[in-house]
A and B are shown apart, each in its own frame.
Chain A
Amino acid sequence: MNGKQLERVYCPVCQAKFRFVEGWKEGSMVICPICGQKLRLNRSSDGWVGDRPEKGTEKEIRERVDEYARLHGYVFKDMKEELIQGLLGKNRRFKDFYCPCRMEHVPEYMCPCKPTRGGDVERDGKCYCGLFWKKA
């Protein structure tokens, strides 16, 4: 035990903290290993926080879902583009990328939603809306 406290980074998309990697510094661009969001590191009084450099843009959500699929080895099917359009519609109307197939506009349903991050794809073969699929 060296007494050094493990540093963590807060992700505003999945609202969880992940491990700070040695060498990262203020302004570093990193990918949240939990949800795939691209983050710019910012040191706040509460510790490391990731900012969303392209918040609310089409680029942001496309990169996030691609990264999330890559991190977990998931694949997309023919509905991908329609679901992306649905996510963009949610952002236009409800100010963030909530699941296009759900009624509720709450942080836990920001894509990839909490049930997806909790193992829905592993269990059911796909996420609730069918964006992410387990590889056959």
Chain B
Amino acid sequence: MKEKPKVYALSTCPYCKRTKRFLEDHKIAYDCTDVDLLDDAEQDKILEKIEKMTGKRSFPVVIIGEEIIVGHDEDRLRKALRL
């Protein structure tokens, strides 16, 4: 894999936690941003980016190469990561 998967999450969201746990369980190194913990300016910037990519403000968002996965979806994660 060229780039590490990127995860946008909320620190309190259990589905986001499951996605992070899934990646960790499969020894996948990833970058993660807990969007709710960012300062306002940074948060606006990231939310705009997420809305542009996914059309909504729903978490988690996982970016694996060209693939964008919204919500905790182990089947799609497996497929995108070729597990």
Contacts and interface: CB of A to CB of B under 8 A. Distances in A.
Contacts of B14: 79, 82-83, 85-86, 100-101
Interface in B31-62: 35-37, 43, 47, 57, 59
Contact of B47 (A85, A87, A103): A103
B47 A89 contact: no
B13 interface: yes
A86 B15 CA distance: 10
Nearest to B58: A101
Interface string B9-45: 0111111010000000000000000011100000100
Contacts of A59: none
B10 A103 contact: yes
A113 B11 CA distance: 19
Contacts of A90: 12
Contacts of B17: 82
Interface residues of B, number: 14
A52 B15 CA distance: 30
A9 to B, nearest CB: 30
A93 interface: yes
A129 B58 CA distance: 10
Nearest to A87: B12
Nearest to B59: A101
Contacts of A89: 11-12
Contacts of A86: 12-14
Interface string A74-85: 000001001101
A101 B15 CA distance: 8
A103 B36 contact: yes
Interface of B: 10-15, 17, 35-37, 43, 47, 57, 59
